[in-house]
A = this chain, B = another copy of it.
Amino acid sequence: MKQKRVTFADIAAYTSFSKTTISRYFNNPDSLTLENQQKIAEALEVLNYRENKVGRILASGKTEFVGILVPNLYMHYYSEMLSQILATYETYGYKFLVFAGNERKDVETHYIQELLAYNIEGLIMLSPTIPSRDLADYHIPVVGIEREHAHICSVCTDNYMGGVQATSLLKKCACDILIHVNSRMTEDAPAYGRIQGFLDTCREHSLPHELILTDLGNTFEENRQRLLTLLEQLEDRYPRQKKGLFLSNDTHANVLLNLLIRKYGQLPPTYRIVGFDNSPISSEAVIPTSTVGQQIPRIAQEAMDLLSMQMNEQKKRRPTPLTKPIHRIVTPVLIPRETTLP
């Protein structure tokens, strides 16, 4: 199974060039004639030479590694974001060392230390567990995606605009009462913008509304139980009124839709629903569900752009640190489907 590695000496012997010439081929190819470059390239092919970047890392100090820490890959939002970040390899050439976190600060801190030990050039943080102040203290380029980012660069969806879009769509359905269901969060979480966008739109147009901040649980079964209870409360509170429901993600919107279908065999005319994210579940639901779409490929692209800008700065002889973090905002796209027909 083991195969001896081909060395510069082997290539030199095969081509009758000196080892110095072979070295120049790798480090400064244009110093050789095209003909000689061609000869060496052919030799590499014949000898089945395998480039050893570890040696080059040691010479340059640059690994071309970027670390990624995602909270989980269960939520489609994260697996899709990871997929889009990995795809930037074709543009930027960075390789990705990936860890999936577990909401424990000590464990995730250990993961980051592992990444640093391998000289990652930059870090993309999707996990919200470690405060941005701590991340800034590592003194490496960092970009946070859709998480608290006071002390690091970031890319986020315009959550406020998303909240406005969702609420305006429900307004057009002529609902009697608008209801936004979300989890409790601090105002520095980017997703808080959805709540603010909902409240501002309702107040601006004097629309009757209710904001329900509650923990819907971390598993599907918890989601289902708690949304079932919530649904019973809403039917008690607003029995014959047309209810416009804005859920904070498509998973919750789908659970609610399915509960209604099981009860009524259809989406009753007294319910209108809009979710968030444009996850596959929203289009694949039993009734295709309206949603506010996050532009995940755009967000991944902006994050790598922001990170590579910082990494390139670090490669300079005298890097100029950013005076303050850069925050980029990506516009969401409203996608009306069958659950918000007038």
Residue in B83, B100, B283, B284 whose beta carbon sits within 8 Å of that of A72 in the complex: B83
With CB as the reference atom, state the residue of chain B lying closest to A51. Answer: B117
B83 near A99: Cβ-Cβ < 8 Å? no
Interface residues of A in 276-325 (CB under 8 A from B): 280-281, 283-287, 314, 319, 321-322
Minimal beta-carbon separation of A45 from chain B (angstroms): 12
Return chain B residues, CB-CB under 8 Å to A143. none
Return chain B residues, CB-CB under 8 Å to A201. none
B100 near A97: Cβ-Cβ < 8 Å? no
State the CA gap A3–B141 with chains docked (Å): 12
Task: Say if the beta carbon of A255 comes within 8 Å of chain B.
Answer: yes
Residue in B3, B80, B283, B286 whose beta carbon sits within 8 Å of that of A286 in the complex: B286
| A54-B118, A83-B100, A220-B280 known; A321 vs B95 contact (CB < 8 Å) | no
Return chain B residues, CB-CB under 8 Å to A82. 73, 79
Return chain B residues, CB-CB under 8 Å to A280. 74, 220
The chain A residues found within 8 Å of chain B, CB to CB, are: 1-3, 50-55, 57-58, 63, 72-74, 76, 79-80, 82-83, 86-87, 89, 95-100, 111, 113-114, 116-119, 139-141, 220, 254-255, 258, 261-262, 265-266, 280-281, 283-287, 314, 319, 321-322
Minimal beta-carbon separation of A86 from chain B (angstroms): 5
Closest 9 CB pairs of A and B: A1-B321, A265-B265, A79-B79, A73-B83, A53-B117, A258-B286, A51-B117, A3-B139, A73-B79
| A53-B118, A80-B73, A99-B89 known; A1 vs B314 contact (CB < 8 Å) | yes
Residue in B1, B57, B286 whose beta carbon sits within 8 Å of that of A262 in the complex: B286
Minimal beta-carbon separation of A59 from chain B (angstroms): 11
State the CA gap A335–B208 with chains docked (Å): 45
Stoichiometry, as copies per complex, reads 2
B54 near A1: Cβ-Cβ < 8 Å? no
B52 near A54: Cβ-Cβ < 8 Å? no
Return chain B residues, CB-CB under 8 Å to A254. 284
Minimal beta-carbon separation of A13 from chain B (angstroms): 22
Residue in B58, B96, B281, B285 whose beta carbon sits within 8 Å of that of A55 in the complex: B58
With CB as the reference atom, state the residue of chain B lying closest to A89. Answer: B99
Return chain B residues, CB-CB under 8 Å to A113. 50-51
| A1-B314, A2-B321, A286-B286 known; A52 vs B117 contact (CB < 8 Å) | yes
Return chain B residues, CB-CB under 8 Å to A87. 100
With CB as the reference atom, state the residue of chain B lying closest to A287. Answer: B262
Q: Which of A74, A83, A287 has the most CB of B within 10 A?
A: A83
